Amino acid sequence: MAMGGWLARAGRAFGRGRGAAICSRAGRGWARPLAWCALLALLWTPAWSVLASGEPLAALRPEASERLEALPNLSGRWAQQQVTTSVTRVPVVGEVRSRTETLLILDIAQRGANLTVTAEVCTIAIRNRPNMVRTIIPEEFVRSLGRTTRTARLTPQPSGVRYEQPRFVEVIGARLGDPEREGLPQDASDPRVVDQDGTGAPGVTVRIGGVVSGDVYVVQRGWNRLWSTTLSEETFDGVVEWDNEQVVLGASNAFIRRDAPASPDPSPANNFFRTTRVAPDADCRWVERNTSTLFSR
């Protein structure tokens, strides 16, 4: 959840002699993950089980269908690192880049080419450049995301088999009748707003530290789509396509109350995922301790 917008607001305050820059729109991630920057990302509405071409499996060319017999077995537990980057133009400061790293545990069940992926977010960490202000995703926020289930599939390509996870939409801090199309709440009094992380504040709480500090209460809608560029039965890595929208419902500091836009960095090199098979009993703490080994390629 890259928080570029808060940096924009604080940058304007800095220009008036009242503060420094901070980040607000979580990764414009699941993690802007949830990129989130995230988150969340995230991560953070059912997906479609169709091929990238839009053709059903039965419509595959005969030679492609024959290759299904050699599909890799991805069933089991995996650790995944998602990295997303947002860019914001900030008055006085200039360009601000927010890099969101989300660690997840995936449990994959496979039936032929079809995959069911259950994901648990372990941590969300955000680094801003310049780093005048820190964006902190509290543990309560992460725990409130729970476990989500989405679909994916393995699709034969001329270069080999590809993992494809279709667009997955997640709303954080509110309950919407139509999560993908319904407008986000604009005010904390909206009955669709929920205290998702149990902090007593509307929506979810994100902490800001540094020259300007405080808590921001937000609702977010993020989506992401993943596809692999390398795949084996032990690792699969690839590209994250994502976006995020956010509404600030309130803040403990007036300087971080207003929102400002951030946008995803268009480079695939700055929006990627790495996935490594782990033992069935591996948990989030183990993944956090072994991050450098798991994702060092």
pTM for the predicted model, two decimal places = 0.77
Q: Which residues contact 210 (CB under 8 A, 6 or more apart)?
A: 20, 22, 131, 132, 133, 134
Q: In the structure encoding, which two tokens stand for residue 55, read together?
A: 């053709």
Per-residue pLDDT of the chain in tens (297 residues, 90 and over written 9): 444 444 444 444 434 444 333 333 333 333 334 333 333 333 333 332 333 334 443 444 555 444 555 899 999 999 999 999 999 876 666 788 999 999 999 999 999 999 999 999 999 999 999 888 889 999 999 999 999 999 999 999 999 999 999 999 999 999 999 999 999 999 999 999 999 999 999 999 999 998 889 999 999 999 999 999 999 999 999 999 999 999 999 999 998 887 767 899 999 999 999 999 999 999 999 999 999 999 999
**Spatial separation of the C-alpha atoms in residues 56 and 54, rounded to whole Å:** 7
- Sketch the domain layout of the chain as residue ranges: 4-294
Q: Which of 123, 77, 119, 120 is nearest to 288 (CA)?
A: 123
Q: What is the pLDDT of residue 88?
A: 82
Dihedral of CA 228/44/223/153: which sign? positive
Partner residues linked to 275 by β-bridges: 80, 236
